[in-house]
């Protein structure tokens, strides 16, 4: 059944892309910015594992970059609030989690094209640690009931979720090295590349909307201080883990010294009209077709 739904979706996207719907719907985007949210980039021959939607094949990533550079201005995240320099739509590229594959496969593709990007880091996981959503996923990935229990009841906290999984006899399988978090040494190397900046993904990647004031302050202040002590290419932006936020979370982020906060859903961002601490992004899942990517760049299916 899942295969049939996927085929029907691909067919619809192909029809819309070729019918001119993307051009008709897109219209003028002057003054707006589309911020893309990526997670991991895996080799084309790598065996899919973990939370499948987060691990985009390198071939697909290259194709998306080719489309972007042909039709858009790819700008640094820090220029999102600036006035546009041309009539072309503007796009900013971000990565959450600092996966090894994203850093060693994805970033070189950007650097070779002279494209900027920001990597959002949760320092607690640096050094080859895996993330719970990859470790407890089965051959079908993660079911929605498991994901929701992990995010809400267990607050998105890695140790609590792994303990729950063990107690409930779920198999924990550590993913391949390219699907784990990078080391500090590798992060140091990539942070020196032209156009590459680092931002905060909190300290330990919890569901911020489930934390209290003191816990929120710790999750916001600790990673920003850690990054600034070690790197010069740090932007005071935070990417909310799982995209979970609330007005209280936004207030805490601003109090901790951040300039802006990013969700992981939504579409085009309108500076001056959308809230700076709930900025939308377009999440780019691994299964997204080339036609689907083009339609989302135009604003279709972004929400």
- 167-194: average pLDDT: 96
Reply yes or no on whether the pLDDT at 28 is more than 90. Answer: no
* Segment of 22-26, 49-53, 60-64, 288-292 carrying the highest mean pLDDT: 60-64
C-alpha to C-alpha distance for 236 and 119, rounded to whole angstroms: 12
Confidence of residue 1 (pLDDT cuts 50, 70, 90): very low
According to the model, what pLDDT value does residue 4 have? 40
C-alpha to C-alpha distance for 247 and 277, rounded to whole angstroms: 9
Confidence of residue 19 (pLDDT cuts 50, 70, 90): low
Among the listed ranges 25-29, 71-75, 132-136, 214-218, which one has the minimum average pLDDT value? 25-29
How does pLDDT run across 192-228, given as a tens digit for each residue?
999 999 999 999 999 999 999 999 999 999 999 999 9
Under 8 Å CB-to-CB from 23, ≥6 apart: which residues?
298
Under 8 Å CB-to-CB from 98, ≥6 apart: which residues?
119, 120, 121, 122, 125, 126, 181, 182, 187, 201
C-alpha to C-alpha distance for 95 and 297, rounded to whole angstroms: 17
Q: Higher pLDDT residue, 155 or 16?
A: 155
C-alpha to C-alpha distance for 155 and 227, rounded to whole angstroms: 24
According to the model, what pLDDT value does residue 15 have? 44
Looking only at the bridges linking them, the beta strands covering 117-121 and 40-42 are unpaired
Reply yes or no on whether the pLDDT at 130 is more than 60. Answer: yes
Q: Higher pLDDT residue, 30 or 76?
A: 76
Mean pLDDT in the chain?
Answer: 90
DSSP state of 105: I
- 134-149: average pLDDT: 91
- 270-294: average pLDDT: 90
Catalogue the long-range contacts made by 164-168 (C-beta closer than 8 Å, 24 or more residues apart).
165/132, 165/135, 165/136
Phi-psi region of 162 (alpha: psi -120 to 50; beta: other; left: phi over 0): alpha
Distance of CA 74 to the CA centre of its chain: 16
Angle in degrees, 0-180, between the axes of helices 213-230 and 247-255, rounded to the nearest 10? 40
According to the model, what pLDDT value does residue 115 have? 98
C-alpha to C-alpha distance for 256 and 237, rounded to whole angstroms: 11
What is the CB-side half-sphere exposure of residue 6 using CA atoms within 13 A? 7
According to the model, what pLDDT value does residue 3 have? 45
22 in Cβ contact with 303 (< 8 Å): no
Reply yes or no on whether the pLDDT at 39 is more than 90. Answer: yes
């Amino acid at each position: 059944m899942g295969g049939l739904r996927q085929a029907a979706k691909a067919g619809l996207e192909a029809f819309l892309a070729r019918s001119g719907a993307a051009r008709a719907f897109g219209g003028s985007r002057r003054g707006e910015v589309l911020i893309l949210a990526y997670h991991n980039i895996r080799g084309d021959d790598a065996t899919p594992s973990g939370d499948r939607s987060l691990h985009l094949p390198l071939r697909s990533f290259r194709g998306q970059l080719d489309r972007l550079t042909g039709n858009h201005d790819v700008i640094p995240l820090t220029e999102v609030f600036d006035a546009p320099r041309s009539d072309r739509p503007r796009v900013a590229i971000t990565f959450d989690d600092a996966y090894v594959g994203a850093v060693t496969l994805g970033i070189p593709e950007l650097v070779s094209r002279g494209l900027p990007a920001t990597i959002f880091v949760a320092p607690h996981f640096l050094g080859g640690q895996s993330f719970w959503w990859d470790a407890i996923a089965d051959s079908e990935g993660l079911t929605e009931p498991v994901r929701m229990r992990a995010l809400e009841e267990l607050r998105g906290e890695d140790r609590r979720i792994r303990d729950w999984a063990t107690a409930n006899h779920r198999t924990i399988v550590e993913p391949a090295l390219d699907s784990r978090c990078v080391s500090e040494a590798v992060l140091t190397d990539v942070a020196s590349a032209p156009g590459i900046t680092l931002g905060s993904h909190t300290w330990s990647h919890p569901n911020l909307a489930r934390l209290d004031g003191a816990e929120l302050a710790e999750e916001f202040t600790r990673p920003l201080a850690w990054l600034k002590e070690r790197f010069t290419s740090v932007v005071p932006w935070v990417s909310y883990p799982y995209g979970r936020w609330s007005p209280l979370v936004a207030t805490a982020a601003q109090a901790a010294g951040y300039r802006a906060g990013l969700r992981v859903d939504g579409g085009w961002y309108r500076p001056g009209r959308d809230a700076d601490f709930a900025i939308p992004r377009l999440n780019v899942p691994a299964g997204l077709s080339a036609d689907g990517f083009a339609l989302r760049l135009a604003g279709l299916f972004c929400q």
